[in-house]
Structure 1
Protein backbone atom coordinates (compact mmCIF):
# COMPACT_ATOMS: atom_id res chain seq x y z
CA UNK A 1 0.00 0.00 0.00
CA UNK A 2 2.82 2.35 0.87
CA UNK A 3 4.57 1.57 -2.41
CA UNK A 4 1.37 2.37 -4.32
CA UNK A 5 0.98 5.67 -2.47
CA UNK A 6 4.59 6.63 -3.16
CA UNK A 7 4.10 5.74 -6.81
CA UNK A 8 0.97 7.87 -7.07
CA UNK A 9 2.68 10.85 -5.44
CA UNK A 10 5.70 10.45 -7.70
CA UNK A 11 3.44 10.27 -10.75
CA UNK A 12 1.59 13.41 -9.71
CA UNK A 13 4.84 15.28 -9.18
CA UNK A 14 6.13 14.08 -12.55
CA UNK A 15 2.98 15.16 -14.38
CA UNK A 16 3.05 18.57 -12.67
CA UNK A 17 6.71 19.13 -13.51
CA UNK A 18 6.20 17.91 -17.06
CA UNK A 19 3.31 20.34 -17.58
CA UNK A 20 5.26 23.23 -16.04
CA UNK A 21 8.37 22.50 -18.02
CA UNK A 22 6.45 21.97 -21.24
CA UNK A 23 4.72 25.32 -20.80
CA UNK A 24 8.04 27.00 -20.10
CA UNK A 25 9.57 25.20 -23.04
CA UNK A 26 6.80 26.44 -25.30
CA UNK A 27 7.45 30.01 -24.21
CA UNK A 28 11.19 29.63 -24.77
CA UNK A 29 10.66 28.13 -28.21
CA UNK A 30 8.27 30.93 -29.17
CA UNK A 31 10.82 33.49 -27.99
CA UNK A 32 13.65 31.84 -29.93
CA UNK A 33 11.50 31.56 -33.06
CA UNK A 34 10.43 35.20 -32.78
CA UNK A 35 14.07 36.27 -32.42
CA UNK A 36 15.22 34.20 -35.40
CA UNK A 37 12.36 35.43 -37.57
CA UNK A 38 12.76 39.00 -36.30
CA UNK A 39 9.21 39.06 -34.98
CA UNK A 40 8.15 41.29 -32.09
CA UNK A 41 5.56 38.97 -30.58
CA UNK A 42 6.41 38.28 -26.95
CA UNK A 43 3.64 35.89 -25.88
CA UNK A 44 0.46 34.26 -27.18
CA UNK A 45 -2.36 33.56 -24.72
CA UNK A 46 -5.19 31.14 -25.48
CA UNK A 47 -7.91 33.58 -24.44
CA UNK A 48 -9.08 36.26 -22.04
CA UNK A 49 -8.76 34.05 -18.96
CA UNK A 50 -5.15 33.10 -19.63
CA UNK A 51 -3.93 36.65 -20.24
CA UNK A 52 -5.44 38.09 -17.04
CA UNK A 53 -2.40 37.69 -14.74
CA UNK A 54 0.07 39.02 -17.28
CA UNK A 55 -2.16 41.96 -18.18
CA UNK A 56 -2.68 42.81 -14.50
CA UNK A 57 1.08 42.89 -13.98
CA UNK A 58 1.65 45.07 -17.05
CA UNK A 59 -1.10 47.54 -16.12
CA UNK A 60 0.22 47.81 -12.56
CA UNK A 61 3.46 49.32 -13.92
CA UNK A 62 2.00 51.55 -16.64
CA UNK A 63 1.74 55.32 -16.47
CA UNK A 64 -0.07 55.69 -19.81
CA UNK A 65 -2.69 53.22 -21.07
CA UNK A 66 -4.71 53.37 -24.29
CA UNK A 67 -7.62 51.00 -24.93
CA UNK A 68 -9.57 50.35 -28.13
CA UNK A 69 -12.47 47.97 -27.64
CA UNK A 70 -15.98 47.02 -28.77
CA UNK A 71 -18.53 46.41 -26.01
CA UNK A 72 -15.84 46.67 -23.33
CA UNK A 73 -17.50 44.48 -20.72
CA UNK A 74 -14.08 43.39 -19.45
CA UNK A 75 -13.37 46.98 -18.43
CA UNK A 76 -15.87 46.54 -15.61
CA UNK A 77 -13.95 43.73 -13.91
CA UNK A 78 -10.67 41.81 -13.66
CA UNK A 79 -7.33 43.55 -14.31
CA UNK A 80 -8.97 46.91 -14.98
CA UNK A 81 -10.26 47.42 -11.45
CA UNK A 82 -6.76 48.16 -10.20
CA UNK A 83 -6.12 50.36 -13.25
CA UNK A 84 -9.09 52.58 -12.39
CA UNK A 85 -7.90 52.83 -8.79
CA UNK A 86 -4.46 53.92 -9.99
CA UNK A 87 -6.08 56.55 -12.20
CA UNK A 88 -8.09 57.87 -9.24
CA UNK A 89 -4.92 58.58 -7.24
CA UNK A 90 -3.08 60.12 -10.20
CA UNK A 91 -0.67 57.26 -10.82
CA UNK A 92 -1.88 56.54 -14.33
CA UNK A 93 -3.65 58.21 -17.26
CA UNK A 94 -5.96 56.18 -19.48
CA UNK A 95 -7.60 56.87 -22.83
CA UNK A 96 -10.48 54.64 -23.95
CA UNK A 97 -12.05 54.37 -27.40
CA UNK A 98 -15.54 52.85 -27.37
CA UNK A 99 -17.98 52.54 -30.29
CA UNK A 100 -19.97 55.71 -30.82
CA UNK A 101 -23.60 55.15 -29.84
CA UNK A 102 -25.11 57.82 -32.09
CA UNK A 103 -23.97 57.67 -35.72
CA UNK A 104 -24.32 60.71 -38.00
CA UNK A 105 -26.73 60.38 -40.91
CA UNK A 106 -25.09 58.90 -43.98
CA UNK A 107 -22.42 56.97 -42.05
CA UNK A 108 -22.43 53.20 -41.62
CA UNK A 109 -23.34 51.98 -38.15
CA UNK A 110 -20.55 49.57 -37.24
CA UNK A 111 -22.27 48.50 -34.01
CA UNK A 112 -25.03 46.97 -36.14
CA UNK A 113 -22.41 45.38 -38.38
CA UNK A 114 -20.71 43.65 -35.43
CA UNK A 115 -24.04 42.60 -33.92
CA UNK A 116 -24.98 40.84 -37.16
CA UNK A 117 -21.75 38.84 -36.88
CA UNK A 118 -22.41 37.96 -33.24
CA UNK A 119 -26.03 37.02 -33.88
CA UNK A 120 -24.94 34.44 -36.45
CA UNK A 121 -23.39 32.24 -33.72
CA UNK A 122 -24.92 33.59 -30.48
CA UNK A 123 -28.71 33.89 -30.35
CA UNK A 124 -28.57 36.18 -27.29
CA UNK A 125 -27.61 38.98 -29.65
CA UNK A 126 -29.96 40.92 -31.88
CA UNK A 127 -32.49 43.71 -31.33
CA UNK A 128 -29.83 46.07 -30.01
CA UNK A 129 -28.20 43.85 -27.38
CA UNK A 130 -24.66 44.89 -28.33
CA UNK A 131 -25.58 48.58 -28.25
CA UNK A 132 -27.05 48.15 -24.77
CA UNK A 133 -23.85 46.50 -23.55
CA UNK A 134 -21.74 49.30 -25.02
CA UNK A 135 -24.05 51.83 -23.35
CA UNK A 136 -23.45 50.04 -20.04
CA UNK A 137 -19.69 50.43 -20.48
CA UNK A 138 -20.04 54.11 -21.35
CA UNK A 139 -22.14 54.59 -18.20
CA UNK A 140 -19.62 52.67 -16.09
CA UNK A 141 -16.71 54.82 -17.26
CA UNK A 142 -18.50 58.18 -17.04
CA UNK A 143 -17.76 58.75 -13.30
CA UNK A 144 -14.07 58.07 -13.99
CA UNK A 145 -13.82 60.97 -16.46
CA UNK A 146 -12.67 63.32 -13.71
CA UNK A 147 -9.94 61.02 -12.41
CA UNK A 148 -7.51 60.46 -15.26
CA UNK A 149 -9.75 58.51 -17.65
CA UNK A 150 -10.87 60.02 -20.96
CA UNK A 151 -13.40 58.30 -23.20
CA UNK A 152 -14.12 58.99 -26.85
CA UNK A 153 -16.48 57.33 -29.31
CA UNK A 154 -15.42 55.93 -32.67
CA UNK A 155 -17.40 54.74 -35.69
CA UNK A 156 -15.09 52.22 -37.30
CA UNK A 157 -15.16 48.44 -37.93
CA UNK A 158 -14.85 46.40 -34.74
CA UNK A 159 -11.69 44.53 -35.70
CA UNK A 160 -9.81 44.07 -32.41
CA UNK A 161 -9.43 44.90 -28.77
CA UNK A 162 -6.13 46.73 -28.30
CA UNK A 163 -4.48 47.62 -24.99
CA UNK A 164 -1.37 49.78 -25.22
CA UNK A 165 1.09 50.59 -22.43
CA UNK A 166 4.51 52.20 -22.66
CA UNK A 167 6.15 48.80 -23.05
CA UNK A 168 3.71 46.46 -24.81
CA UNK A 169 0.50 46.07 -26.76
CA UNK A 170 -2.10 43.31 -26.31
CA UNK A 171 -4.16 42.53 -29.41
CA UNK A 172 -7.30 40.39 -29.48
CA UNK A 173 -8.62 40.05 -33.01
CA UNK A 174 -12.41 39.98 -33.36
CA UNK A 175 -13.44 37.09 -35.56
CA UNK A 176 -16.74 36.94 -37.44
CA UNK A 177 -17.55 33.55 -35.91
CA UNK A 178 -16.36 33.80 -32.30
CA UNK A 179 -16.50 35.98 -29.20
CA UNK A 180 -13.40 37.98 -28.44
CA UNK A 181 -12.85 36.35 -25.03
CA UNK A 182 -12.45 32.94 -26.73
CA UNK A 183 -9.83 34.04 -29.25
CA UNK A 184 -6.04 34.24 -28.76
CA UNK A 185 -4.46 37.35 -27.26
CA UNK A 186 -1.15 38.41 -28.78
CA UNK A 187 1.29 40.41 -26.70
CA UNK A 188 3.88 42.40 -28.63
CA UNK A 189 6.83 44.25 -27.20
CA UNK A 190 7.87 47.63 -28.63
CA UNK A 191 8.58 47.25 -32.34
CA UNK A 192 6.85 47.44 -35.70
CA UNK A 193 3.54 45.93 -34.55
CA UNK A 194 3.51 48.14 -31.46
CA UNK A 195 4.14 51.19 -33.63
CA UNK A 196 1.38 50.16 -36.04
CA UNK A 197 -1.29 49.90 -33.33
CA UNK A 198 -0.08 53.09 -31.67
CA UNK A 199 -0.57 54.88 -34.98
CA UNK A 200 -4.02 53.33 -35.49
CA UNK A 201 -5.11 54.36 -32.02
CA UNK A 202 -3.74 57.88 -32.41
CA UNK A 203 -5.52 58.40 -35.74
CA UNK A 204 -8.84 57.20 -34.34
CA UNK A 205 -8.42 59.26 -31.19
CA UNK A 206 -7.75 62.44 -33.12
CA UNK A 207 -10.69 61.92 -35.46
CA UNK A 208 -13.37 60.96 -32.94
CA UNK A 209 -15.49 63.20 -30.71
CA UNK A 210 -15.54 63.05 -26.93
CA UNK A 211 -18.37 61.16 -25.24
Structure 2
Protein backbone atom coordinates (compact mmCIF):
# COMPACT_ATOMS: atom_id res chain seq x y z
CA UNK A 1 0.00 0.00 0.00
CA UNK A 2 2.86 2.35 0.86
CA UNK A 3 4.46 1.68 -2.51
CA UNK A 4 1.19 2.50 -4.31
CA UNK A 5 0.77 5.67 -2.26
CA UNK A 6 4.31 6.82 -2.98
CA UNK A 7 3.86 6.02 -6.66
CA UNK A 8 0.62 8.02 -6.78
CA UNK A 9 2.22 11.00 -5.05
CA UNK A 10 5.17 10.80 -7.43
CA UNK A 11 2.91 10.76 -10.49
CA UNK A 12 0.83 13.64 -9.15
CA UNK A 13 3.95 15.67 -8.42
CA UNK A 14 5.30 15.00 -11.89
CA UNK A 15 2.02 16.05 -13.51
CA UNK A 16 1.93 19.24 -11.41
CA UNK A 17 5.52 20.03 -12.34
CA UNK A 18 4.80 19.60 -16.05
CA UNK A 19 1.69 21.80 -15.78
CA UNK A 20 3.54 24.58 -13.94
CA UNK A 21 6.44 24.37 -16.36
CA UNK A 22 4.04 24.73 -19.28
CA UNK A 23 2.28 27.74 -17.71
CA UNK A 24 5.44 29.55 -16.73
CA UNK A 25 7.26 28.72 -19.95
CA UNK A 26 4.40 30.39 -21.85
CA UNK A 27 4.66 33.46 -19.64
CA UNK A 28 8.44 33.43 -20.02
CA UNK A 29 8.16 33.23 -23.80
CA UNK A 30 5.83 36.23 -23.85
CA UNK A 31 8.16 38.17 -21.57
CA UNK A 32 11.16 37.30 -23.75
CA UNK A 33 9.32 38.39 -26.89
CA UNK A 34 8.42 41.69 -25.24
CA UNK A 35 12.02 42.34 -24.19
CA UNK A 36 13.29 41.47 -27.68
CA UNK A 37 10.74 43.79 -29.29
CA UNK A 38 11.85 46.69 -27.10
CA UNK A 39 15.55 46.02 -27.77
CA UNK A 40 14.96 45.86 -31.53
CA UNK A 41 12.69 48.91 -31.45
CA UNK A 42 9.76 46.91 -32.81
CA UNK A 43 6.19 47.93 -32.07
CA UNK A 44 4.88 44.35 -31.87
CA UNK A 45 3.79 43.72 -28.29
CA UNK A 46 2.40 40.17 -28.58
CA UNK A 47 1.37 37.51 -31.10
CA UNK A 48 -1.57 35.27 -30.20
CA UNK A 49 -2.22 31.93 -31.91
CA UNK A 50 -5.87 32.73 -32.65
CA UNK A 51 -8.84 34.88 -31.68
CA UNK A 52 -9.74 32.72 -28.70
CA UNK A 53 -6.32 33.17 -27.14
CA UNK A 54 -6.36 36.91 -27.82
CA UNK A 55 -9.89 37.42 -26.45
CA UNK A 56 -9.10 38.08 -22.76
CA UNK A 57 -6.34 40.55 -23.66
CA UNK A 58 -8.58 42.40 -26.13
CA UNK A 59 -11.34 42.57 -23.52
CA UNK A 60 -8.99 44.12 -20.93
CA UNK A 61 -7.86 46.80 -23.37
CA UNK A 62 -11.40 47.58 -24.54
CA UNK A 63 -12.74 47.89 -21.01
CA UNK A 64 -10.34 50.74 -20.22
CA UNK A 65 -10.36 52.48 -23.62
CA UNK A 66 -11.78 55.93 -24.31
CA UNK A 67 -11.78 55.49 -28.09
CA UNK A 68 -12.22 52.26 -30.07
CA UNK A 69 -12.10 51.50 -33.79
CA UNK A 70 -13.24 48.12 -35.16
CA UNK A 71 -12.92 46.98 -38.78
CA UNK A 72 -14.26 43.47 -39.29
CA UNK A 73 -16.04 41.10 -41.68
CA UNK A 74 -19.05 39.17 -40.36
CA UNK A 75 -18.75 40.84 -36.94
CA UNK A 76 -20.32 37.97 -35.00
CA UNK A 77 -17.77 38.50 -32.21
CA UNK A 78 -19.39 41.87 -31.43
CA UNK A 79 -22.30 39.97 -29.88
CA UNK A 80 -20.01 38.13 -27.45
CA UNK A 81 -18.73 38.87 -23.96
CA UNK A 82 -15.39 40.26 -25.17
CA UNK A 83 -17.12 43.37 -26.55
CA UNK A 84 -20.12 43.61 -24.20
CA UNK A 85 -18.64 46.07 -21.68
CA UNK A 86 -17.23 48.26 -24.47
CA UNK A 87 -20.65 48.50 -26.13
CA UNK A 88 -22.29 49.29 -22.78
CA UNK A 89 -19.71 52.02 -22.10
CA UNK A 90 -20.26 53.49 -25.57
CA UNK A 91 -24.00 53.42 -25.05
CA UNK A 92 -23.59 55.31 -21.78
CA UNK A 93 -21.27 57.82 -23.51
CA UNK A 94 -18.11 56.77 -21.67
CA UNK A 95 -16.41 55.52 -24.82
CA UNK A 96 -16.42 56.58 -28.47
CA UNK A 97 -16.58 53.52 -30.71
CA UNK A 98 -16.52 53.40 -34.52
CA UNK A 99 -17.38 50.07 -36.17
CA UNK A 100 -16.93 49.19 -39.83
CA UNK A 101 -18.79 46.26 -41.43
CA UNK A 102 -19.04 45.14 -45.07
CA UNK A 103 -21.55 47.03 -47.19
CA UNK A 104 -24.52 44.74 -47.84
CA UNK A 105 -25.71 46.30 -51.13
CA UNK A 106 -23.12 47.07 -53.79
CA UNK A 107 -23.79 49.52 -56.65
CA UNK A 108 -23.81 48.07 -60.16
CA UNK A 109 -20.34 47.82 -61.64
CA UNK A 110 -18.53 47.54 -58.28
CA UNK A 111 -16.96 44.36 -56.92
CA UNK A 112 -19.08 42.56 -54.32
CA UNK A 113 -16.42 41.78 -51.73
CA UNK A 114 -18.82 39.86 -49.48
CA UNK A 115 -19.36 37.41 -52.36
CA UNK A 116 -15.60 37.29 -52.91
CA UNK A 117 -14.91 36.33 -49.29
CA UNK A 118 -17.78 33.84 -49.30
CA UNK A 119 -16.20 32.08 -52.28
CA UNK A 120 -12.95 31.75 -50.33
CA UNK A 121 -14.77 30.35 -47.30
CA UNK A 122 -16.72 27.88 -49.44
CA UNK A 123 -13.47 26.27 -50.61
CA UNK A 124 -12.84 24.86 -47.12
CA UNK A 125 -16.24 25.18 -45.39
CA UNK A 126 -19.25 23.84 -47.31
CA UNK A 127 -21.68 25.77 -45.08
CA UNK A 128 -20.80 28.83 -47.14
CA UNK A 129 -21.68 29.41 -50.78
CA UNK A 130 -25.37 30.31 -50.40
CA UNK A 131 -24.92 33.96 -49.31
CA UNK A 132 -24.54 32.87 -45.66
CA UNK A 133 -21.84 35.46 -44.99
CA UNK A 134 -24.09 38.31 -46.14
CA UNK A 135 -26.86 37.09 -43.82
CA UNK A 136 -24.37 36.94 -40.93
CA UNK A 137 -23.22 40.50 -41.61
CA UNK A 138 -26.87 41.62 -41.81
CA UNK A 139 -27.50 40.00 -38.42
CA UNK A 140 -24.65 42.05 -36.93
CA UNK A 141 -26.16 45.25 -38.35
CA UNK A 142 -29.51 44.25 -36.83
CA UNK A 143 -27.87 43.61 -33.45
CA UNK A 144 -26.05 46.96 -33.40
CA UNK A 145 -28.85 49.09 -34.84
CA UNK A 146 -30.81 49.73 -31.60
CA UNK A 147 -27.54 50.38 -29.72
CA UNK A 148 -26.31 53.25 -31.90
CA UNK A 149 -25.60 56.57 -30.18
CA UNK A 150 -24.45 59.40 -32.50
CA UNK A 151 -20.94 60.48 -31.57
CA UNK A 152 -20.43 57.51 -29.26
CA UNK A 153 -21.38 54.26 -31.03
CA UNK A 154 -21.37 54.57 -34.82
CA UNK A 155 -21.39 52.06 -37.67
CA UNK A 156 -20.42 52.47 -41.32
CA UNK A 157 -20.25 50.10 -44.27
CA UNK A 158 -17.20 49.50 -46.48
CA UNK A 159 -16.77 47.77 -49.84
CA UNK A 160 -13.14 46.72 -50.05
CA UNK A 161 -11.49 43.26 -49.83
CA UNK A 162 -11.88 41.38 -46.53
CA UNK A 163 -8.17 41.08 -45.77
CA UNK A 164 -8.22 41.25 -42.00
CA UNK A 165 -9.75 42.48 -38.76
CA UNK A 166 -8.57 45.53 -36.84
CA UNK A 167 -9.49 46.29 -33.22
CA UNK A 168 -7.80 49.45 -31.99
CA UNK A 169 -7.86 51.69 -28.94
CA UNK A 170 -5.92 54.87 -28.22
CA UNK A 171 -3.17 52.63 -26.76
CA UNK A 172 -2.91 49.44 -28.87
CA UNK A 173 -4.05 47.83 -32.11
CA UNK A 174 -4.87 44.16 -32.81
CA UNK A 175 -4.49 42.97 -36.40
CA UNK A 176 -5.92 39.62 -37.53
CA UNK A 177 -4.78 38.98 -41.12
CA UNK A 178 -7.37 36.88 -42.97
CA UNK A 179 -6.17 33.99 -45.09
CA UNK A 180 -7.93 32.42 -48.06
CA UNK A 181 -7.86 28.95 -46.48
CA UNK A 182 -9.11 29.45 -42.91
CA UNK A 183 -11.66 31.33 -40.83
CA UNK A 184 -10.54 34.59 -39.27
CA UNK A 185 -11.12 33.16 -35.78
CA UNK A 186 -8.39 30.58 -36.48
CA UNK A 187 -5.85 33.15 -37.68
CA UNK A 188 -3.03 34.64 -35.57
CA UNK A 189 -3.67 37.97 -33.85
CA UNK A 190 -0.84 40.51 -33.74
CA UNK A 191 -0.92 43.15 -30.99
CA UNK A 192 0.87 46.44 -31.73
CA UNK A 193 1.64 49.22 -29.29
CA UNK A 194 1.62 52.85 -30.44
CA UNK A 195 4.30 53.19 -33.10
CA UNK A 196 4.86 53.27 -36.84
CA UNK A 197 2.70 50.22 -37.68
CA UNK A 198 -0.11 51.49 -35.42
CA UNK A 199 0.02 54.92 -37.03
CA UNK A 200 -0.01 53.59 -40.61
CA UNK A 201 -2.92 51.21 -39.97
CA UNK A 202 -4.95 53.84 -38.12
CA UNK A 203 -4.35 56.37 -40.90
CA UNK A 204 -5.68 53.79 -43.36
CA UNK A 205 -8.70 53.04 -41.16
CA UNK A 206 -9.50 56.75 -40.81
CA UNK A 207 -9.38 57.16 -44.61
CA UNK A 208 -11.70 54.18 -45.14
CA UNK A 209 -14.09 55.50 -42.48
CA UNK A 210 -14.23 58.93 -44.15
CA UNK A 211 -14.91 57.37 -47.55
CA UNK A 212 -17.62 55.03 -46.25
CA UNK A 213 -21.33 55.60 -45.73
CA UNK A 214 -23.36 55.37 -42.50
TM-score range, shorter chain: over 0.9
SS in 2 for 1:97: strand
Normalising by structure 1, what TM-score? 0.96
Q: Which residue of 1 aligns with 2:33?
A: 30
2:8 corresponds to which residue? 5
Give the aligned partner of residue 177 of structure 1.
181
1:108 is matched with 111
TM score, norm. by length of structure 2: 0.94
1:6 shift after superposition: 2.2
Deviation string 1:4-59 (CA, Å, 9 cap, x unpaired) is 23212321221122112210121122113222332111011111111111111101
Unaligned runs of 5+ in 1: none
Summarize the alignment of residues 1-211 of structure 1 with structure 2, pairs less than 5 Å apart: 1-146=4-149, 148-210=152-214
Find the residue that maps to 1:188 and give its secondary structure: strand
Cα distance in structure 2, aligned partners of 1:113 and 1:22: 41
Q: C-alpha root-mean-square deviation of aligned residues, in Å?
A: 1.2
Structure 2 unaligned residues grouped into runs of 5+: none
Q: C-alpha displacement at 1:69, in angstroms?
A: 0.3
Report if aligned partners of 2:91, 2:148 keep a CA contact under 8 Å in 1. Answer: no
3-state SS of 1:79 partner: helix
Contact 1:164 1:170 survives alignment (8 Å): yes
Do the aligned partners of 2:192 and 2:198 also contact (CA within 8 Å) in 1? yes
Contact 1:52–1:78 (8 Å) recurs in 2: no
Asked if the contact 2:72/2:166 (under 8 Å) is kept, the reply is: yes
